[in-house]
A and B are shown apart, each in its own frame.
Chain A
Amino acid sequence: MMQATQERKTGVYLCGGCGIAEAVKLDTLEAVASKEYKVPTCRRHEFLCSDDGVKMIKADVAAGSVNQVVIGACSPRVNAERFQFDDTQVIRANLREQVAWCQPPGTDDTAMLAADQMRMAITEARKSSLPARHEGGPYSERILVVGGGVSGLTAAREAALSGHDVVLVEQSDQLGGHARRWSKRMPQRPPYAAPQDNDIDGLIAAVEADPRIELRRNCRVVKTAGGPGKFAITLSQDGAEHEVAIGAVVVATGWRPYDPNKLGHLGYGVSPDVVTSLALEDMLAKGSLKRNSDSRPAQNVAFVQCAGSRDPNHLPYCSSICCGVSIKQALQIREADPDSSVYVLYEELRTPGVAEEFYRAAQRAGVIFVKGSVKGVGADLTVTIDDALLGEEVPLAGLDLVVLATGMVPNSAGMIDGAQEQPAVPAADIDPMSPIAVAGYAAAPPPAPPRPPATQISVAGVPLLNLQYRQGPHLPILADGFADSHFICFPYETRRSGIYTCGPVRRPMDMAESAEDATGAVLKAIQAIRSVSEGRGLHPRSGDLSFPKIGLNTCTKCRRCSVECPFGAIDESPEGFPVVNASRCRRCGTCMGACPVRTISFDNYSVDMLTSMIKAVEVPDEDEEKPRVLVLACQNDAYPALDMAGIGRARMNAYVRTIPVRCMGSVSMLCISEAMSSGYDGVLLMGCKSGDDYQCHFVKGSAMAQERLAKVGETLKSMALEKERVQNIEVSIADAHKLPKILDDYLAVIDRIGLSPLKGFG
């Protein structure tokens, strides 16, 4: 195994297949390895990924003559499973997709590019080692579930059935949450036409009877410290505090109905007979539908859909469940009283999937659906509708009851003693720049580092977990107030490792989907516990054993790393030094990119490694008139796009030298200044889209890079260089077809401003 303490025995293996040998002379590349870099073992094969080729490498590894393998062949994106050797670090030089397949064969420029690919790869090997896993046990396998509604109960039950001990915390004295109030629920079984019995009591009983579940009612989380595998969580129950050791957390704090007092324009408050869906549910549970005002039976009922939802002045989103809920209640009313008249007043009727059958069942049962928007409700319950079909405002009179189908507000923050809304927490509470209370933290504030963009949104109310993290006590939320998640491809991923949200705190959803969501969240919780106990990183660099190490002797306590980490993985010691919580870390390297004194590094990824690779490239002298441009490409998107340009045999600019990076966030501005002082003519950062619709897999990485880049102008100025020499472009993985032009256009800029005056001084 190649580790820091061992003698480094690098072997270089060149493949001549797939057009590589036709594009470049392998002799030249071998000379780079054996003569320039004095690599003792250097072999070639015309078909390296064949059994025979792999056997050749394996023999050297088995003989002990090689403990670090550099492969000059195809892209690291292919054949990773072929080129895998026990306890041996493998470095790939991309000679195929990014040389042979996108450059003319046999030219000097192609040869120079291929040689530089080898130089960079051998340098990468010299400056890195196989990562030694983080040892940080013991780890707890216990799962904390916060919230005792249908999501939380399901999560607790699923985790217990899967062999994990569970602590289930419910802030009230009753389990079941809102689900307890539903007399019936929406159908989940064919023919999906009738309200179904609510089995919440069965679920509560199963949880109560489960010996693996430690049930704590009237209980709150007071604070959460540590990280996945080793959370130390303080609970408060009956005036006493207990600390529990927890491996992972499932947050299932659910929702609350939108405050109807804000719906005066829909008649709430004009009459006691204008009620909310939940109030109607309580009436239905009693078995008879009577008016609040005079206890007369309510026969003529109108439902007002989107009461607060889909309204930029209230809830901008659709609460998803209200159409189904109103249909269910309408059917219950019609079934109890065939003489009743029930209207559903809607703008868009949303019964996705097989719920369409439920909608049809209501139509068959005589429920009247009216498309239009409600303009007002009078004291006599006359509803004025702007009827879409008639194209005019019409009154709907003679009603006994008006039901406002109010929407869902996520409990992304806790409330104080049942108050509906709390004023927003002072911004300082979640300002990443403000210190959090850490015992003994009394040092004078260090010099202010650059302020990160305000991507964190204020959360109203009490922090759910009260995280004792440098970046504040709240779980990050999205613009609509729901808990943050990478909501299309990886919906369970949050920015707080080992903490998974599920149910309506994440997105409006019904009981069935909440149960499904909770089950998935438990899988992720179990997976997180298992991964961190083996020292492996969590999504998206799943399985990565490397983690950031900080050299405290050179640390200036500038706090950039702890401030910029997208995952809140770095805290600060009372003395102000950064403290890495390896199990929270997602291995993106944003801390490394942030550090101005390059004292943060991974075993196999460091600023020293990157700058050495940059300097390994042979930059031609000015009189050769061959520019060199450094491209730092995001490994997940821009780099695959460059590969795909090659797969499509696009002709790419030969003056470009590309280094894949874990994330734009990991790019230190030192890489840029090193490149410029080494005589490169320009640097192009190719990262992912930032902003509201960000596509960065590490959420803030590309935004951080842009933020830092905004200041690179000063550095360039001090070097007497034009600011156009350093550019950032957002490249998506599907942009392969645009890349040849992007690079050519950039080289045209270099051509216009001229070669760097710093050539030959590096």
Chain B
Amino acid sequence: MPGQAVESQVILVVGGGIAGITAAVEAAETGYDVVLLEKTASLGGRVAQLNRYFPKLCHPTCGLEINFQRLRGNARIKVFTMATLAGLSGARGRYKASVAVSPRHVNANCTACGDCAKASQTQVPNPFNYGMDKVSAAYLPHPMAYPMRYVVAPQVIGTPEADAIRAACKYGAIDLDEQPKTFELAVGAVIWAVGWQPYDAGKIQSYGYGRVANVITNVEMERLASPGGPTQGRIVRLSDGREAKRVALIQCAGSRDYNHLAYCSRICCLGSLKHAAYLREQYADAQVDIYYIDIRAHDKLESFYRKIKADPQVRFIKSKPASISAGENSDPILHGEDTLTRELYDRPYDLIVLATGMEPSAHGVTPALKLSTDDYGFVVPEIDEEAGIFAAGVAAGPLDVSMSVQSATAATLRAIRAVRTNGAAAHKGQA
């Protein structure tokens, strides 16, 4: 777009998960100013909620810590949490972004000392653990939260308890009157990294999620296995606290299915192999059955598959299970047909884990963004440099962590080019 003036060189990154964090630090370390918006109370997105990564079984918080160090030390990055993009007008180099901020009711004075939590009696579902346990109405999102700042849940606002919470804070950090607000920002380019949400397992009627006890999803399994989770890392049944040793992992719960998600969500096979590893690490006598259509362990991840497959206590059953029903002792029963043996099965388990897929975040693409999406809501990989808006991470397709980082790094180069003032013409290309 020759001749068009760049009025703002600021890059707006929408979404504070691994893709958004990566884009923000990569852009800042290349010398550009960044505003990072995150809709929840802390950065890290889905990655922060994972117990471990495949295939190394290392901890996502390890890489996040490095990224947070990079963020903290970099004056070029401004982070807004509880913030979404409400509107965007203008053009590349001179966008006006309207940012909507929901009340956290805790201001920057917060030292995370925790006195507010002590003054709170109400327990609210813990969003970090997908509601599997509860936290005080004044809570730190999780021990590694960035920013390290508490939140007061809207449930107690307007109650005497809220006043007690405010009174408990020595630092004047509680702001019960905080209202939703909107402010405007001048930005030159946008990186759209809004990520994903787990497919709603309740929509797969026959699997009984929410209806049959001890049927959980793969993201819940991550929290269950995590030392910071609702059971301090013990993989037990939420119904009765019994150790979950006979476990079925159901692949493509929603994915590769025209009634739900037509595409393959890429990460669920590896996720379940990892869950098998968690179970086998925890219980020497665990018996894990993985029900699959195809095991998709691309490139070097194949060796992780081979390792799990060699374990005689992990069975691979080619089958798309038909249904799950409630059995005795709160044991869910899995019904279906083995595709290879044609054998019908009705097997009780301690726990059934649905490997639900990734759905593009409900954040949705606002029409103002000028991004076109496919039928599933993923941004199509047509790179329109003239628009100066670039998708990164799972907003652009179902990707794993490594690919999301690649995608975010590529989007960063495009965004930088969009706000450069010295020369280089924009071009249209494709990924």
A-side residues, CB < 8 A to B, are: 17-19, 47, 49-50, 74, 77-78, 80-81, 84, 158, 161-163, 188-192, 199, 310, 312, 316-320, 348-357, 371, 388-389, 391, 478, 480, 482, 487-492, 507-509, 512-513, 515-517, 519-524, 526-527, 530-531, 540, 542-543, 636-637, 640, 644, 647-648, 688-689, 693, 695, 697, 732-737
Q: How far is the CA of A388 from the CA of B319 in the complex (A)?
A: 13
Q: Which chain B residues border A49 with CB–CB below 8 Å?
A: 111
Given A50-B171, A508-B299, A734-B61, 18 additional A-B pairs, CB 8 A: A18-B112, A18-B113, A80-B72, A81-B75, A317-B303, A350-B298, A480-B300, A480-B303, A489-B53, A489-B62, A489-B66, A491-B406, A512-B431, A519-B410, A543-B29, A648-B143, A734-B51, A734-B226
What residues of B have a CB within 8 angstroms of the CB of A388 in the complex? 318, 340
* Contact sample, A vs B, 7 pairs, CB 8 Å cutoff: A158-B413, A320-B299, A352-B296, A353-B397, A527-B30, A734-B59, A734-B228
| Other-chain contact of A317, B171, B300, B401, B407 (Cβ < 8 Å) | B300
Closest to B426 in A: A161
Closest B residue to A73 by CB, please name it: B111
- List residues of chain B with CB within 8 A of the CB of A734: 51-52, 59, 61-62, 226-228
B265 to nearest A CB, angstroms? 8
Contact of B380 among A190, A487, A488, A519 (CB under 8 A): A190
Given the complex of chains A and B, what is the CA–CA distance between A491 and B405 in angstroms?
Answer: 7
Chain A residues with Cβ below 8 Å from B227 are 734-737
- Chain B positions within 8 Å of A355 at CB level: 264
Residue in contact with B29 in the complex, picked from A312, A482, A531, CB distance below 8 Å: A531
A188–B381 CB distance below 8 A: yes
Q: A644 — nearest CB in chain B belongs to which residue?
A: B143
CA separation between A108 and B318, bound complex, in Å? 64
When A163-B424, A348-B295, A647-B143 are in contact, do A353 and B405 touch as well, CB less than 8 Å? no
Q: Bound state CA distance, A636 and B63, in angstroms?
A: 9
Q: Is the CB of A488 within 8 A of B53?
A: yes
Residues on B with beta carbons closer than 8 Å to the beta carbon of A697: 66
A540 and B401 CA atoms in complex are apart in Å by 18
Picked from B29, B58, B75, B416, the residue with its CB within 8 Å of the CB of A732 is: B58
* B417 and A351 contact, CB distance less than 8 A: no
A640 with B65: CB separation less than 8 A: yes
Q: By the criterion CB–CB under 8 Å, are B420 and A17 in contact?
A: no
Looking at chain B's contact residues, is the secondary structure mostly helix, strand, loop, or mixed?
A: loop
Contact A162 B424 (CB under 8 A): yes
Q: Say how far A573's CB is from chain B's closest CB, in angstroms.
A: 32
- A325–B104 alpha-carbon span in the complex (Å): 50
Give the contacts of B92-138 with A (CB-CB under 8 A).
109, 111-113
Given A81-B75, A354-B376: A516 and B410 interface contact (C-beta under 8 Å): yes
| A161, A317, A489: the one within 8 Å of B405 (CB) | A489
Interface string of B29-42 (1 = CB under 8 A from A): 11100000000000
Q: Which residue of A lies closest to B52 (CB)?
A: A734
Q: Which residue of A has the minimal Cβ distance to B79?
A: A81
Quick check: A516 and B73 within 8 Å, CB to CB?
no
Partner of B113, one of A19, A354, A391, A488: A19
**In the complex the two chains form, is A737's CB within 8 Å of B58's CB?**
no
Q: How many A-B residue pairs have CB under 8 A?
A: 247
Which chain A residues border B58 with CB–CB below 8 Å? 488, 689, 693, 695, 732
* Contact A508-B298, Cβ < 8 Å, known A352-B398, A388-B340, A526-B413: yes
* Neighbouring B residues of A517 by C-beta, 8 Å: 406, 410
B239 at the interface (CB under 8 A from A): no
Q: How far is the CA of A640 from the CA of B62 in the complex (A)?
A: 9
| Residue B280 is within 8 A (CB to CB) of chain A in the complex | no
In the bound complex, CA of A401 to CA of B69 (Å): 57
B341 touches A520 (CB 8 A): no
Known: A17-B111, A162-B416. A78 touches B148 (CB 8 A): yes
Q: Are A74 and B374 in contact (CB-based, < 8 A)?
A: no
Distance from A206 Cβ to chain B, minimum over Cβ atoms (Å)? 8
| Binary A-proximity of B313-328 (CB < 8 A = 1, otherwise 0) | 0000010000000000
Q: Say whether B299 contacts A318, CB under 8 Å.
A: yes
Indicate if B74 sits at the interface (CB-CB under 8 A): yes
- Chain A nearest CB from B393 CB (Å) reads 12
- The reply to whether A161 and B340 contact each other, CB–CB distance below 8 Å, is no
**Contact B413 A522, beta carbon cutoff 8 Å:** yes
Residue of B67, B262, B382, B420 near A162 (CB, 8 A) is B420
In the assembled complex, the Cα of A630 lies from the Cα of B422 at a distance in Å of: 54
B170 interfacial contact with A, CB 8 Å: yes
Contacts A732-B59, A733-B62 given: A353-B264 contact, CB under 8 Å? Answer: yes
Q: Name the residue of chain B whose CB is nearest to the CB of A487.
A: B402
Cβ of B410 and Cβ of A17 under 8 Å apart?
Answer: no
Chain B residues contacting A74 (CB-CB under 8 Å) are 111
Cβ-neighbour of A520 out of B375, B381, B410 (below 8 A) = B410
Q: Mark B230-244, 1 if CB is under 8 A from A, else 0.
A: 001100000000000
B6 at the interface (CB under 8 A from A): no
Residues of B within 8 A of A19 (CB): 113
- Interface pair A490/B405, CB less than 8 Å apart: yes
**Bound CA span A487–B296, Å:** 18
B401 near A316: Cβ-Cβ < 8 Å: no
* Contact residues, B294-309 vs A (CB, 8 A): 294-303, 306
Residue of A nearest to B171 (CB): A47
Q: Are A512 and B381 in contact (CB under 8 A)?
A: yes
Q: In whole angstroms, how far apart are the Cα atoms of A165 and B297 in the complex?
A: 39
Asked whether, in the complex, the Cβ of A350 is within 8 Å of the Cβ of B300, the reply is no
Residue among A163, A190, A647 making CB contact with B422, cutoff 8 Å: A163
Tell me if A310 and B302 are in contact (CB < 8 A).
Answer: yes
**B273 CB to nearest A CB, Å:** 13
Cβ contact within 8 Å between B409 and A18: no
Could you tell me the distance between the alpha carbons of A517 and B264 in the complex, rounded to whole angstroms? 21
B405 touches A350 (CB 8 A): no
Whether B378 is near chain A, meaning CB under 8 Å from some CB there, is: yes
B423 at interface by CB-CB < 8 Å: yes
**In chain B, what residue has the closest Cβ to A46?**
B170
The residues of A that contact B26 with a CB separation of less than 8 Å are 523-524, 527
A524 and B409 contact, Cβ closer than 8 Å, known pairs A163-B420, A352-B296, A644-B144: yes
Give the CA-CA distance A735 to B233 in the complex, in Å.
11
Question: A residues within 8 A CB of B381?
Answer: 188-189, 512
Question: Is B335 an interface position by the 8 A CB rule?
Answer: no
Closest-CB distance, B297 to chain A (whole angstroms): 6
The proximity string for B residues 266-293 relative to A, scoring 1 for CB distances below 8 Å and 0 otherwise, is 1000000000000000000000000000
What is the bound-complex CA distance between A319 and B228, given in angstroms?
Answer: 37
The docked-state distance in angstroms from the alpha carbon of A161 to that of B378 is 27
Q: Which of B74, B264, B302 contacts A356 (CB 8 A)?
A: B264
B401 touches A489 (CB 8 A): yes
Min CB–CB distance A12 → chain B (angstroms): 20
